[in-house]
Structure formats: C-alpha cells, structure tokens
C-alpha cells in the first residue's frame, strides 16, 4: 500500500471549515484513499473513502486531485467534538479482508 | 454505532500469566480484526478472521493466538503475557465486501507488570 504524509497537527476554529491535507504521491491506479479519525480514548471511526472522484457524505467531503497524488478531507463546519487524530490511508480495494495500516495521522484541535 | 463490545475494558496482569480478550459483535459481519495501538506506532494488525474457524496473521502476531468458534465472538489470547504486550487493543469488524469500512470497538487497555 502507498505511503501517506500528513501534517502532525493543526488547529481550526469552531464553526469554520477544516481542511486536512494528505500526500500520497506513490499511489497506484487501483488504490483508494480512506479517512478515519480517532477521538481520544475511543476506537477509530470511518469517515469517507474514494478513488478519483470527489466524495461527500454526512460527515465530510473528500477532494482528490486529478493526478491522485494528494487529497483533502473537508469538515464543513467543525465542532469541538471533531477534535481528534485524523488518519489518511491509501490501500488496494481487495475482496479478501480489509487490513488497514495506520500512520501517524494529523492531530486536529478545534478551538472555540 | 456498530454493535461491538470488548471485554474486559481494563486489565492489569503479571508477566507470564495467560490473558484472553474478547470481542463480541451483533452485526453478523464476516470479518473480525484485532489491532494493538502503542505510542509512536499507530494501530498495527495482530490477527484477523474471515469466518468461523478461519483466521490469519497480521504484522505483529508473535506471542498472540486467536480463535473464532462463533460468528459473533473473536478471542485474542496472550499465552504468556510480557511487558511488551502492554497496549490498548482494539477489535474491528467489517462485512468483508471489497472496500467496505471497518467498525471499531471501544478498546481494552492491558497492562502487564
């Protein structure tokens, strides 16, 4: 699976959009971009995933560049409860199991 | 939230003792996973199961064994606990379809003294 690079930490203001970048310059054509987050002391939580088209769900939007070498997770209206570590994961879409490899992630602090 | 429970939630044990952690799901998902999380290492896969009695190793399986005799239960056993196995252990489940997301349990904090 391709390696990802994320900023170690970032702050954002409550009510504003939070834009979390992820670089995955060695991504292959059959690899998807996944985002998970982990709120303190809880298990990781799935947010969104995509291949090359932009994706949106009730939690967030995922913007993937045309060359697929980077992506941005957008939390449209950050709340204090969005304070967490956010993980960008790139992996092959495989039928037999979905083993995830978590890197360091971005520690996001939402401030009032 | 996905119906996943882990027990115990906290445990302190001594080096050399056997320990079994339990993961229980009510979602009838095919795949179940055990991860450990340590500072500086993120989450690392220990073992996973793709069906009753069907299991496979992850990247850090040494010192651990697993069993799955029912769809809903996945047990992780430390035959002889060591201090290096002090960690937070997370169970996860997924339907096993290509690309589907994993749902994680609340975690078990294990301390080996």
pLDDT in tens, B66-77: 999 999 999 999
**Torsion angle of alpha carbons B19, B21, B22, B23, nearest 10°?**
-160
Q: Answer yes or no: is pLDDT of A42 > 60.
A: yes
What residues of B are in contact with residue A101 (Cβ under 8 Å)?
42, 45
Sheet holding B64-70, edge to edge: B4-7, B19-25, B73-78, B64-70
Q: Which residue has 């997301």 as its token pair?
A: B101
Chain centroid offset of residue B61 CA: 11
The pLDDT tens digits of the residues spanning B21-72 come to 999 999 999 999 999 999 877 789 999 999 999 999 998 999 999 999 999 9
**B96, B97, B107 member nearest A43 (Cβ):** B107
d(CA A71, CA A85): 17
Q: Is the Cβ pair A99, B43 closer than 8 Å?
A: no
End-to-end CA distance of chain A: 37
Any B CB within 8 A of A99 CB: yes
Residues of A in contact with B89 (CB under 8 A): none
């Amino acid at each position: 699976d391709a390696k990802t690079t994320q900023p170690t930490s970032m702050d954002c203001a409550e009510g504003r959009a939070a834009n979390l970048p992820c670089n995955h310059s060695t991504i292959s054509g059959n690899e998807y971009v996944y985002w998970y987050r982990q709120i303190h002391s809880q298990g990781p939580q799935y947010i969104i995933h995509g291949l090359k088209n932009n994706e949106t769900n009730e939690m967030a939007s995922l913007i993937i560049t045309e060359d697929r070498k980077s992506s941005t997770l957008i939390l449209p209206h950050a709340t204090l409860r969005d304070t967490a570590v956010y993980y960008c994961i790139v992996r092959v879409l495989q039928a037999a199991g979905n083993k995830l490899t978590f890197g360091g992630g971005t520690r996001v602090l939402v401030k009032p | 939230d996905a119906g996943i429970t882990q027990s115990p939630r906290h445990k302190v044990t001594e080096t050399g003792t056997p320990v079994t952690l339990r993961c229980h799901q009510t979602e009838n998902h095919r795949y179940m996973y055990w991860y450990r999380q340590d500072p500086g290492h993120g989450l690392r896969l220990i073992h996973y199961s793709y069906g009753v009695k069907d299991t496979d190793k992850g990247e850090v399986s040494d010192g651990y064994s697993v069993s799955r005799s029912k769809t809903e239960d996945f047990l992780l056993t430390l035959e002889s606990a060591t201090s290096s196995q002090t960690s937070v252990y997370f169970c996860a489940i997924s339907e096993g379809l290509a690309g589907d997301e994993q749902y994680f349990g609340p975690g078990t904090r294990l301390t080996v003294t």
